[in-house]
Chains A and B, each alone.
Chain A
């Protein structure tokens, strides 16, 4: 890395603070509110989505660089994997005898 700087990394700082705030918000909603479990899960799920978007733009520089097609493949791949992991797990753990406890 070169010693030349590109100005103060505001982007990173804002992203960092936003990530912490969103995480604390999720903790607060889970522990300190009286919403039903269903609502809590939806709210923290949406917060997680915001967090992912912040990561993509503030840290992973999704708008920079020339690799348009590689970025698209990457994101589609991650999305498929995330869907498999989340919905696969829910399906496996809530069907059959495993759910009867």
Chain B
């Protein structure tokens, strides 16, 4: 590659972004230096192993990526709003739908969900941190390195343009020679290491670190859903690792796993991609189900209806999630037996999902419902997600799918699943757990603006896409003729996307407003909730619980409140053992990012040199004998008195 191809040039939109990114970075560095915050950033955030701070960083990264992916979406909507527009050319449109998909799934949904899991799970099970705090920090930083590497493709080298699924043979070197798809393979690989480590970390945390007395059927439902999610992560992400490795070998070193030439099989890529990709859908949607369950139970003032059936439904979905991958490519030309079996398994998923929908409805029945913002998200989720689910059953029928396949109908379907299923859940969770993260609530009034704008905008945007899809519009079309008659539908849809963007802007304004003006006097339990995280201060102290709680029932905190047993006895305080900060995770992740960057450009010697950095980092890490530190009783007592008043 010659140097004049290094930076992406020739497009005013991208040039403006390059200048914008440059100025923002210089501005940020200048601002941090001016405020003398570098040391604070390093010691409080960059090297932290505190699960709550790591969670907050995940959420921040997720919201930023939501913005990037959202702008991609708006550009696509603008381009297709009228027939035969040329805001974007075909190549640029290809790049944008590719980055939109990858970013929204892997760099928006995943970090937001993992971030909330990070904040909430140790608090819900009465633990002081996750099982491997340093590994947790590494998970975040290596995810972040992967995300940044992927975003770099926008200004350096060129974006990937073969779709978020990057099907072979198109994604191979033969048909896509630039570095864009190298970015895809390597940044996903790097971020995937982080996700896999998170999966192992949370499985161990939930098995090993539950508070005394918290047997499996007393586990809060969100923790249950997260537990099963992380098991699916551990099962499914290695498949992506292998598939991406094969892709990298094909593109960089001339092997033929997926090429048409020399005995490779492009269909093997589809097969492996969806063996990971379908479980991935459940990885993002199951924790969301858990979040809704917590919110609905809290604001209906009832315990969750059918807790056990909920657990079995989640486990059932997890098992079936590994058995349905072929429904993404019925039209590949499988035998009738293959398509029939996978049709059946796919339709079976509707059964446990239906169980969950009815559990939520019965939880609401005769409840004293409070219409807080997070409850509104949960209520809107049920009908919107049901539309997504029912259209999913339509797509599940292999014969009918030959009509729907790769049309806008499919695109509308999965947005109706993923936006209510994931984005609504994340919003509900943010409004719900925000006080636990920051010590103040998000403003409810602005929150309702956020809610109504976003939900109405969402339906306006995606409902018309069902109809153009049924009318034959295929996905990923960058323009269309006026005679198709789709202009009105898609114009409508484009206006909807602006309303949705206004909803997102309301969220950003809400965060800003609440940081500045919201009351800091929210107490430890602002929603009168049911689970353990609300029994400690808001924001949660770095040691989480001064005394590890003893659990007797499901929704233990609720019953302790009723019995008036939430106080803290001074005699129970003991020094608390905490892990120390570490610089190895961020440095190691940086080395991974560097290796990835050099491999993207196929600068092998440089990549090897950077890889030596990884080995040195790993070796240095094994010589880290830091045993952590103890928080003395005096300090605990002082911090607890601050919000409890006198101790018993």
Q: Which residues of A contact B (CB under 8 A)?
A: 1-3, 70, 77-78, 81, 84-85, 88-89, 91-93, 95-98, 101
Chain B residues in 8 Å Cβ range of A97: 332-334
**Who on chain A is nearest to B275 by CB?**
A85
- Minimum C-beta distance from A8 to chain B (A): 14
Chain A residues, CB < 8 A from B275: 85, 88-89
> Which of B325, B326, B334 counts the most A-chain CB atoms under 10 A from its CB?
B334
Could you tell me the distance between the alpha carbons of A78 and B334 in the complex, rounded to whole angstroms?
A: 27
Within 8 A of A (CB), among B314-364: 322-323, 325-326, 332-338
Task: Confirm or deny: B239 has a beta carbon within 8 angstroms of a beta carbon on chain A.
Answer: yes
- List residues of chain A with CB within 8 A of the CB of B624: 1
Q: Is the beta-carbon distance between B239 and A85 smaller than 8 angstroms?
A: yes
Choose the segment among B264-272, B280-288, B366-374 that binds chain A (4+ C-beta atoms closer than 8 Å). B264-272
Q: Mark B510-542, 1 if CB is under 8 A from A, else 0.
A: 000000000000000000000000000000000
Interface size class of B (residues with CB under 8 A): 20 to 34
Q: In the bound complex, what is the Cα–Cα distance between A95 and B322 (angstroms)?
A: 20
B residues at A contact (CB < 8 Å)? 207, 231, 235, 239, 265, 267-268, 271-272, 275, 322-323, 325-326, 332-338, 624-625, 627
Q: Is the CB of B267 within 8 A of A98?
A: yes
Known: A92-B326, A93-B265, A95-B334. 13 other contacts (CB 8 A): A85-B275, A88-B323, A88-B325, A89-B271, A92-B271, A95-B335, A96-B332, A96-B333, A96-B334, A96-B338, A97-B333, A98-B332, A101-B265
- Cβ of A81: which chain B residues have Cβ within 8 Å of it? 235, 322
A84 in contact with B337 given A70-B207, A89-B275, A98-B332 (CB within 8 Å) = no
Q: Chain A's nearest CB lies how many Å from the CB of B201?
A: 16
Q: In the complex, what's the smallest C-beta–C-beta distance from A88 to chain B, in angstroms?
A: 8
CA distance A41 to B335 in the complex (A): 25
Contact of B625 among A3, A92, A96 (CB under 8 A): A3
Distance between B384 CB and nearest chain A CB, rounded to angstroms: 32
The residues of A that contact B239 with a CB separation of less than 8 Å are: 85
Nearest CB of chain B from residue A51's CB, rounded to whole Å: 15
CA A59 – CA B364 in complex, angstroms? 49
Q: How far is the CA of A2 from the CA of B335 in the complex (A)?
A: 58
Alpha-carbon gap, A95 to B625, bound state (A): 55
Given A98-B267, A98-B334, the answer on whether A2 and B627 have CB atoms closer than 8 Å is yes
Complex formed: what's the CA distance from A68 to B303 in Å? 34
Report A-chain residues with C-beta under 8 Å of the C-beta of B323.
84, 88
CA distance A96 to B335 in the complex (A): 4
Contact B268 A93 (CB under 8 A): yes
B133 to chain A, nearest CB (A): 12
Q: Complex formed: what's the CA distance from A2 to B624 in Å?
A: 9
| Given A81-B322, A91-B338, A92-B338, A98:B333 Cβ within 8 A | yes
Bound-complex Cα distance A82 to B393 (A): 27
Q: Which residue of A lies closest to B622 (CB)?
A: A1
Which residues on the B side are within 8 Å of A70 (C-beta)? Answer: 207
Chain A, Cβ-Cβ closest to B323? A84
Report Cα–Cα, A93/B271, bound state, in Å: 8
- B338: which A residues are within 8 A, CB to CB? 91-92, 95-96
Hey, which chain B residues are within 8 Å of A2, CB to CB? 625, 627
Q: Which A residues lie within 8 Å of B625 (CB)?
A: 1-3
- Chain B residues with Cβ below 8 Å from A96 are 332-336, 338
Q: How far is the CA of A95 from the CA of B337 in the complex (A)?
A: 9
Contacts of B335 in A (CB 8 A): 95-96
How many angstroms between the C-alpha atoms of A97 and B333 in the bound complex?
5
State the Cβ distance, A41 to closest chain B Cβ, in Å.
Answer: 14
Given contacts A70-B207, A96-B333, A96-B335, contact A84 B322 (CB under 8 A): yes
List chain B residues, Cβ under 8 A from A89: 268, 271-272, 275
Closest Cβ neighbor of A94 among chain B residues: B335
Q: How far is the CB of A67 from chain B (nearest CB, A)?
A: 8
Output the least CB separation between B54 and chain A (Å): 20
**What are 24 A-B pairs with beta-carbon distances under 8 A?**
A1-B624, A2-B627, A77-B235, A81-B235, A81-B322, A85-B275, A89-B271, A89-B272, A89-B275, A92-B271, A92-B334, A92-B338, A93-B271, A95-B335, A95-B337, A96-B333, A96-B335, A96-B336, A96-B338, A97-B333, A98-B332, A98-B333, A98-B334, A101-B265
